Structure 1
Amino acid sequence: MSELKQTFNSTLGKKLIMALTGLFLSLFLIVHLGGNLLLFVNDNGYSFNMYANFLTHFPPIEVIAWLLYITIIVHALYALILTIHNRRSRPVGYAVTPKAPASWSSKNMGLLGSILFLFIVIHMSDFWYKYKYTHSVGFKEYRTNVLTGERTESDFVPENEDFEHAQTFDGDVEIIKVKDIHTKVAQSFAMPVYVILYVIAMGALSFHLLHGFQSAFRTLGWVHRKYLPIIQFVGTWLFAVIIPLGFAAMPIVYYLQSLK
């Protein structure tokens, strides 16, 4: 047990923790993007509101969510610890520049990570916290005819402050009442400042993942010349291009729609 503790207290151990938490967060980004793409479904927010309701009321997902929050904190904390350790170990720059200089993203991981952490705090306080712990998010009532598929929606004001969601039936009509986070998202994305912040954060995410994803595999020793091109391709095109562009498209599209 002491050897295990000593391992994870070492510089290598800290890098292993960074790699493992980073890969877990990378996997989360894929799932999160998939869910957020429901914002583009033209159904008056029904799909996205149902998705948000499921995430916050399904116990296994709640457990995974808290694991995610802990992972974010651990990843950020160990990044700070390693940055401080590296600067103390090398207070003066190298006298000779290496033949293969590090990329811009690898040299600025601290800056990129700080931008992302600030964004996560703002993002979660504006959506997650207000959705779960305040009454600033309204409600929607969706009435769906299960035979024809026709659906109507209207605002709903619950009589009880502790009301969360409800599903009832009136003949062939399914009545669902849920929190309307979709409207909150649309309101936030209608603000230019928030859109700019979001796009900047996604730019930081792109460069952060461009280096971080491949670096995690190197730290874990999961690098073989046969599979290295695959890791580089996935790290570059999926995590550094497609995922950030997918997230950045959401505020841009909603902002443009708010101008109409």
Structure 2
Amino acid sequence: MTVVLAPPHLTEEARYDWDLLQRQTVGASTFDPAAANLLPEPARRWVIRAIAPGTPLLRAVVLSMHGTIRLGSWRRFHATQVLLPMEGFAWCASAYLGILPVHGFDRYRAGAGEMRWRLLDTFPMMSAAGPDITRSAVGRLACEFVLAPAAALDPRVGWKALDERHAVATLPIGSDDYDVILSIAPNGRLESVTMHRWGNPDKGAYREHPFGVVCEGETSFDGFTIPEGIRGGWWPWTTRWADGEFIRFTIDDALFR
């Protein structure tokens, strides 16, 4: 399978991450639904719905998406992302301030997170790295494992049921473990993903805040069924959600590798 070329506007380091994270899964077994029987019931329902029998359990995915993101006000964007659960991601996007393009990326791999955004590819709008950015990026990586459902069967992931509709996945990333709560409908459809994520959405000191994504609809690619639409932000299911929600997008394509 050919490599998906890195989008423009990446630095040399981000381009390296892009290529590394999308490497083809070696020796992928095919999905036997009986393998999900070891999971708690809510997670079992989701995995059975999310992976068709006989599908190769490919770990990495390259996603194409479009939507709106809050940059002061809501602005349209399109993006491409490579994702390898528990290892890293690189998300490259183009948005617009009026008619002026803003290009940039968010990324995490090997214990380092970074954001870098430029207006007209020249004028810096946001550049950030360091421990706080890295810790926040790890939270994003933890939540997004549901976009590559084969990760649910990775023996490194711990599972426990909270009740009939909720399960906790514990994902090891770097030297720490991260708990992610999945809300799963009786038919196995993924409804939402929540966790406590490091950030400063209130512009104060960095600390943990409730973070979540709402999953809307479903779409299928290469034997995997994932959410078609996602709305994400801080303080889900509280009166602060209107202020905390910052991204809404639709997945247009997914290539599993």
Q: Place the TM-score, normalised by the shorter chain, in its bin.
A: under 0.3
Q: TM-score, normalised by structure 2?
A: 0.27
- Ranked by relative contact order (alpha carbons within 8 Å, sequence separation 6 or more), the top structure is 1
TM-score (norm 1): 0.26
Greater fraction of residues in strand: 2
Q: Which structure: greater helix fraction? A: 1
